[in-house]
Amino acid sequence: MITPVFILLISAALTCQASAQKVLVLLDDPLIRSTHSLYFSDLTSRGYDIFFKSASDRKLQLKDWDEWLYEKLIIFAPSATDFGGDIGEGTLLEFVDAGNDAVIVVDSNPSELMRSTVADIGIDLEPKGTLLTDHVDYVRSSSDGHSLIASEEFVASDAILGNFTDRSPILFKGTAASISPESTLGISILGAPETAFSHFPGKAVIENPLVANGHATLVAGVQARSGARVVVAGSVDMFSNAYFTLAGFETASGNKFSKAGNRAFCDEVTQWAFHQRGVLRVTNLHHSHAGKQEQPEWYRVTDDLQFGLDIHELAGGIWEPYRADDVQVEFVMLDPYVRADLQHNDQGHFHTAFKVPDVYGVYKFVINYCKPGYTPLDLAKRVSVRPFRHNEFERFLVAAYPYYMSVFSTMAAFFLFGFVFLYHK
């Protein structure tokens, strides 16, 4: 039994390979197309077909009957209170639930529509009008006061950040978000410095802000169980040509940087959101008796078995063997009876061997592998474990020889008795 999520993932991944994918970009301000042209041209050079539409365009159409007209969605419409055409909050969520990727960018004035949409995806944006502020380590600039921030709090995942290797600080000006601590799907891709907090600019702080102390999330990623990836960023400016090309800046604490990392960061995170990276594929899930090939329906208790599967990772449009030492398999019946690390052979084949526990029942091989930035693997395969057959127990034990002897001697006595009894007159 392979979970449906997994199948969706494969299909989503396969469509990546196909010819140019259509990306719908919704804008509330047509100027963004020129002020953020570098971001879009980077996308185009990656081979995407970009369609710019105004968020309020009456002819907007995301779905034609049962068919999605675009594979990806980018929304630069923080202030849109309503979408045109057939798009509404429900359509957007449906789009995500169907396994399609989206990048949603807001600024410090997100509309209620944007806030509730993002909240339904699992990211809680700060209220309209708040700005992330840092009085200690802000970026010195003429116009932005203390709200332009350079953050280096990146998620520790090469799968998400990809070729963004120099980890230059990211310039950010906008609203912060938070993720529920119980969320298993959301991940903070870019955090805020310890000293930053979220607040209404120009107003006195009379109680401790909730989103502060490094808990603020600037760019968040969500991997829905439908396979969709959504990136939510709190700053429109972050993607702008101006920040992309900034020649150098200095922070209040005196650190000088020759450039911002925004261009590479935004591009790579978008690549991640669009399933170009961090996609895992499992094939060839297989288990058998040790040293055998065919996959049995059941095992006997204390049998030796071997378990293996192939995991591949999507890199640059091709599937490459996945290499990791932290993949585990569990052999579960109500509780995990066996938990084993899987070894891999650099060809993407992961395998292990273990002994079936001495408890019969219906077991599952469970692989539950959640690594930040990678598609979570949640696979289960049922197999029965049976007790010994009646003739599989050990027989003719040494300890039992006296009993056997007695039985034989009694039988001998029985025959002897017969002779004596019948012929003795």
Partner 1 sequence: MQRSINDFKSNAAVILKSFNAEYTKTPLRIKVIDAFMVYALLTAAVQFLYMLCVGTFPFNSFLSGFFCSVGFFVLSVSLRMQVDPSSDEFKGLLPERAYADFVLCGCLLFLVVWNFMG
Partner 2 sequence: MAFSLRLFSVVKYESVIHEFDPYFNFRVTIYLTKEGFYNLWNWFDDITWYPLGRVVGGTVYPGLIWTAGVMFKVLHALNVPINVQEVCVFTAPLFSAFCSLAAYLLVKEIRGRGAGLTAAAFMAMVPSYISRSVAGSFDNEGVAIFALVFVFFLYVKALNTGSLAWSSAAALAYLYMVASWGGYSFIINLLPIHCLASIFTGRLTAKLYIAYAPLIVLGTLEAASIPVVGFNAVLMSEHFGAFFAFGILHAALAIRYIKDILPVKAYNAAKTLVLTSGVVLMSGILLLVLFYVMSSPTFGWTGRSLSLLDPTYASKYIPIIASVSEHQPPAWPSYFTDLQAASILMPAGLIALFWPLTPASLFLILYACTAVYFSGVMVRLMLVLAPAACCLAGVALHEALAALFKGVHAEQREQESRPPKEDAKAKKPSSKPAKASFWSNLPGFSETGRPIPRDAALTRGGDGSIHIFDDFREGYAWLRYNTPEDAVVASWWDYGYQTTAMANRTVLVDNNTWNNTHIATVGRAMASPEKQAWEIYRALDVTHVLVIFGGFIGYPSDDINKFLWMVRIGGGVFPDIKEKDFLGEGGYRVDNKAGKALLDCLMYKLSYYRYAEASLMTTGQMGFDRVRNVQIGKMDVTLEYFEEVFTSEHWMVRIYKVLDRPARDIKLPNPRSTRGKPRKSSLS
Contacting positions for partner 2 (CB under 8 A)? 1, 4, 93, 96-97, 115, 119-122, 124, 126-127, 129, 178-186, 199-200, 203-207, 209-211, 215, 222, 224-226, 228, 298, 333-334, 360-364, 380, 382, 384-387, 389-390
Closest of 139, 148, 152 to residue 255, by C-alpha = 139
Closest CB 376 distance from partner 1, rounded Å? 49
Question: What φ, ψ does residue 152 adopt, rounded to 5°?
Answer: -120, 15
Question: Does the protein bind partner 1 through residue 423 (CB under 8 A)?
Answer: no
Distance CA 409, CA 406 (A): 5
Q: Which is nearer to partner 1, 65 or 396 (CB)?
A: 396
Judged by CB under 8 A, the stretch of 139-147, 268-276, 302-310, 412-420 that binds partner 1 is 412-420
In the complex, minimum distance from the CB of residue 411 to partner 2, in angstroms, rounded to a whole number: 15
> For residue 179, what are the contacts with CB-CB under 8 A and spacing of at least 6?
122, 123, 124, 186, 187, 188, 217, 220
Q: State how far the Cα of 293 lies from the Cα of 291, in Å rounded to an integer.
A: 7
Per CB under 8 A, contacts with partner 1 among 336-395 are: 395
414 binds, among partner 2, partner 1, none (CB under 5 to 8 A by kind): partner 1
Q: Which is nearer to partner 1, 368 or 409 (CB)?
A: 409
At closest approach, how far in Å is the CB of 405 from partner 1? 8
**DSSP β-bridge partners for residue 123:** 179
- Residue 101 CB, nearest approach to partner 2 (Å): 13
CB 283 within 8 Å of CB 310 = yes
Identified binder of partner 1 from the candidate list 14, 20, 205, 411, rule CB under 8 A? 411
- Where would I find the beta strands (DSSP E) of 90-210? 101-105, 123-125, 131-133, 149-151, 170-172, 177-179, 186-191, 197-199
Tell me how far, at minimum, the Cβ of 42 lies from partner 2, in Å: 28
Task: Please give the Cα distance from 125 to 177 (Å, whole number).
Answer: 4
CA–CA distance, 115 with 111 (Å, rounded to integer): 6
Query: How far, in Å, CA of 51 to CA of 61, rounded?
Result: 12
- Give 51 or 417: the residue with its C-beta nearer to partner 1: 417
Answer yes or no whether residue 58 interacts with partner 1 by CB under 8 A: no
Sort strands 349-355 and 304-315 into parallel, antiparallel or unpaired: antiparallel
Given partner 1, partner 2, none, residue 413, with its beta carbon under 5 to 8 Å by kind, binds partner 1
Q: How far is the CB of 240 from partner 2 (least distance, A)?
A: 27
Q: Note the helical H segments in 169-256.
A: 241-244
Buried b (16+ CB within 10 A) or exposed e, 38-51: bbbebbeeeebebe
Length of the chain measured in residues: 425
Q: Which is nearer to partner 1, 65 or 414 (CB)?
A: 414
Choose between 203 and 395: whose C-beta lies nearer to partner 2. 203
CA separation (Å) from 264 to 47, 168, 261, 267? 17, 9, 6, 5
| E strand residue ranges, 334-390 | 335-341, 343-344, 349-355, 361-369, 377-386
Q: Which does 284 bind (CB under 5 to 8 A by kind): partner 2, partner 1, none?
A: none
The item of partner 1, partner 2, none sharing an interface with residue 421, based on CB under 5 to 8 Å by kind, is: partner 1
Task: Kindly state whether residue 51 participates in binding partner 1, applying the rule CB under 8 A.
Answer: no
Shortest Å, Cβ 387 to partner 1: 16
- Whichever of 290 and 359 has its CB closer to partner 2, that residue is 359
- Judged by CB under 8 A, the residue of 203, 256, 399, 423 near partner 1 is 399
- Of 119 and 136, the one with the shorter C-beta distance to partner 2 is 119
31 versus 204: smaller Cβ distance to partner 2:
204
Q: Where are the alpha helices (DSSP H) in 106-234?
A: 112-121, 158-161
Among 20, 119, 136, 407, binds partner 1 (CB under 8 A): 407
Residue the block writes with tokens 């949409």: 117
Which of partner 1, partner 2, none interacts with 93 (beta carbon under 5 to 8 A by kind)? partner 2
Amino acid at the residue 97: D
Binding residue (CB under 8 A) for partner 1 from 20, 242, 290, 397: 397
Name the residue among 25, 262, 40, 287 with its Cα closest to residue 152: 262
Shortest spacing between CB 385 and partner 1, in angstroms: 24
Size, binding site for partner 1 by CB under 8 A: 21
* Interface with partner 1 (CB under 8 A): 395-397, 399-400, 402-404, 406-407, 409-411, 413-414, 417-418, 420-422, 424
